[in-house]
Amino acid sequence: MSNVKAYAAKAATKDLEPFDIERRKPTAEDVEIEILYCGVCHSDIHTVKNDWKNAKYPSVPGHEIIGRVTKTGENATNFKEGQLVGVGCMVDSCQDCSACAENLEQYCEKGATFTYNSTDKHLGGHTFGGYSEKVVVDKKFVLNIPENLDVKAVAPLLCAGITTWSPLQQWNVKKGDKVGVIGLGGLGHMGVKLANAMGAHVVMITTSPSKAKDAMELGAHEILISKDQDQMAKHKNSFDFLLNTIPVGHDVNPYIGLLKRDATMVLVGAIEPLDPIHGGGLIAQRKRLAGSLIGGIKETQEMLDFCGKHNIVSDVEMIDIQKINHAYDRVIKSDVKYRFVIDMKSLKNN
């Protein structure tokens, strides 16, 4: 074991502060990674603040990790020192259940080991995330990062990217489909970029007319202001697919009204109670509401390769780790376009 520097919350709603954590020495299956960049996801804030009532302290958040390999276990032969790699929301799973067999480790029937706040099988206690100098991860959960991309802007692909990619793939979004992306934040801006690159006709659905220009620059072909009843009526029963990135409970009925017969809206953000859904809205044209949780490791690699080919990265604002509490305040106010990424070099300043 070795101690490394990190930033951690020691109790709910407290600010994050410098902290020393233990990282294991790599086993034969492991890859040790020096962390270069780590994206700031809203889940980090939910955990620090214990919004989901399951936080373990001290908590080191961070699951959008980009780094370079510093050591490899003898069986981790796919990786070599100096290689650019990524780690997303998971660092392990049972590798034995039907979900793992289908490369859907996020639905592991015994529970995936998430990058932070999960039981640590090696050291006991719980896992620590990417706001840290180093991370040691089983080779199966280490991703190859296309070298042609702006590396620091790749970090958010490991959560925001795969979370939007996975449902677009699962529901077979294809060239010419009319796809609505609901909500323009960290997830939504990736949804627009990815759906555009897949050849869909992308409609940004937002409450804020002020976001129209940005959405078009990101790749939306059309804007639908969801508060405008006339616009909503015009688009009724017309969407092949809706990706709903709103991160809180809300009224989904108007969006269900936008779906074509047999079309699906997938929730990826709202891990909260929704307003009452009218059964008739699903029954009348045989519509579907579904959920989706991040994505498996295989599809994460496919997404990264796709992004490499199509030159897609996140729009990011870089910060030093010392500014993390301020960044959290701004995320909560949706005052970021569209993802903060921590330059982990700044940890050396502590």
Which residues in this chain contact its own copies in the complex, by CB under 8 A?
A: 99, 104, 107, 170, 249, 261, 264, 267-293
Tokens linked to 35? 């962390």
| Residue 146 or 269 having the CB closest to its own copies | 269
Min separation Cβ 36 and its own copies, Å = 30
Consecutive H or E run containing 38: strand 30-39
Min separation Cβ 110 and its own copies, Å = 12
Cβ-contact 1, 309 below 8 angstroms: no
For residues 76 and 62, give the distance between their C-alpha atoms in angstroms, rounded to a whole number.
23
| Residue 49 or 330 having the CB closest to its own copies | 49
Min separation Cβ 246 and its own copies, Å = 9
Min separation Cβ 245 and its own copies, Å = 12
Min separation Cβ 89 and its own copies, Å = 13
For residues 313 and 150, give the distance between their C-alpha atoms in angstroms, rounded to a whole number.
7
For residues 30 and 140, give the distance between their C-alpha atoms in angstroms, rounded to a whole number.
9
φ/ψ of 249, rounded to 5, equals -60, 145
The 3-state DSSP class for residue 321 equals: helix
Which of the 8 DSSP states describes residue 19?
E
Cβ-contact 64, 303 below 8 angstroms: no
| Residue 30 or 177 having the CB closest to its own copies | 177
| Residue 123 or 293 having the CB closest to its own copies | 293
| Residue 46 or 68 having the CB closest to its own copies | 46
Cβ-contact 41, 162 below 8 angstroms: no
Min separation Cβ 345 and its own copies, Å = 35
Tokens linked to 25? 């020495």
| Residue 164 or 264 having the CB closest to its own copies | 264
Spacing of C-alpha 219 from chain mean position? 19
Min separation Cβ 334 and its own copies, Å = 19
Alpha-carbon torsion angle 210, 213, 217, 221, nearest 10? 100
Min separation Cβ 263 and its own copies, Å = 11
Q: Which residues of 271-286 are buried (b: 16+ CB within 10 A; e: fewer)?
A: eeebeeeeeebeeebe
| Residue 194 or 265 having the CB closest to its own copies | 265
Min separation Cβ 103 and its own copies, Å = 13
| Residue 44 or 133 having the CB closest to its own copies | 44
Half-sphere exposure of 131 (CA within 13 A, CB side): 32
Side chain identity at residue 92, one-letter code: D
Q: What angle do CA 290, 296, 301 make, to 5 degrees?
A: 125
Cβ-contact 206, 184 below 8 angstroms: yes
